[in-house]
Structure 1
Amino acid sequence: MSVDEFSEMGPVDYLVLEFPGNRMTGEGLPLLLDLVERRVIRVLDLSFVRKDEDGTVTALKVADLDGDGELDLAVFEGASSGLLGEDDLQEAASVLEPGNSAGILVYENLWAAPLAAALRRSGARMVANGRIPAEDLLASLDALEAGTAGSDS
């Protein structure tokens, strides 16, 4: 990827999703495909690992992971930008409980690409970013509501 191509990219994020007991149902796959088809995101890398009970980590093929014979994730087979290396897979597996699997997804936020490119051209640079976990947001809203409800009395 050239510097010019990078300057037009949106922010890149990653997710490590743990599947207890190696159960990957594929329920989220249609939603992921929808995001890709609508050009909200672009999948740069998609990898899977399994952590055995003895702690051994095995990379899994992106294909029919649930064994039902359907296409499933084969649509992403070969989705590799080279951003994820063996050390990244090992690091992702380090947070897994033994007997579980994980999907590691690296994606570009295409929806934000025009804004990000314009900001880079103007000399702006990101100095911090983060994500608020849904549980924290819900707890804050509950606390706010409890405080508001108490002041109405």
Structure 2
Amino acid sequence: MTTFDYGPIEFYAIGFDGDKPGPEVLQAVDDLVAAGTVNVLDLIFVARSAEGELSMMELSDTIESASAPALDLAGLASEEDIEELAAGLEPGTSAAILVVELLWAKAFAGALWQAGGTVLSRTSIPAPIVNAYLSEYND
């Protein structure tokens, strides 16, 4: 079986009201890392001021390393990536740009590659939509 150094990665832009997310967001990310589900490659916080100005802060530049998840490839998200992901931010809001390696899919990706397979399409359905649908469906 083919062994990759990294599994598939995903970029997320997670929006928040106000200028920053609460501490529970970092805790949730840290829990995913501790469980071996993901490897955090990069994490950037962005905020759009009331005047429309976009500011960016790399996690590794803002938080003591003991209280934050370790970043394996800090700087992986380019400024262009960040600006594109933050393009829809309204004034007075913020976002976390999270780049994660999907550790659970690493071996699967190697097996697919070895078999000559490739993922042709992937669709993500947000948890609130899944839960609302299943709640209605199961009633």
Normalised TM-score (structure 2): 0.81
Q: How does 1:1-150 map to 2 (within 5 A)?
A: 7-62=4-59, 63-64=62-63, 72-73=67-68, 75-76=69-70, 79-80=73-74, 82=76, 84-146=77-139
For 1:11, the aligned partner's letter is P
Give structure 1 stretches of 5+ with no counterpart.
Answer: 147-153
Distance in 2, Cα, partners of 1:40 & 1:139: 25
Shift in CA distance, 93/113, structure 1 to aligned 2, threshold 3 Å:
same
Equivalent pairs counted in the alignment come to 136
Distance in 1, Cα, partners of 2:110 & 2:134: 34
RMSD: 2.6
Deviation for aligned residue 1:39: 2.2
Asked if 2 retains the 8 angstrom alpha-carbon contact of 1:9 and 1:117, the reply is: no
Distance in 2, Cα, partners of 1:81 & 1:108: 14
Distance in 2, Cα, partners of 1:76 & 1:108: 13
1:111 alignment partner, SS class: helix
1:94 alignment partner, SS class: coil
Deviation for aligned residue 1:104: 0.4
Larger-gyration structure (1/2): 1
Q: What percentage of aligned pairs have identical amino acids?
A: 31
Higher helix share: 1
Shift in CA distance, 31/138, structure 1 to aligned 2, threshold 3 Å:
closer
Give structure 2 stretches of 5+ with no counterpart.
Answer: none
> Per-residue CA shift, 1:8-45, capped at 9, x if unaligned?
53221121112211142211222311221332211111
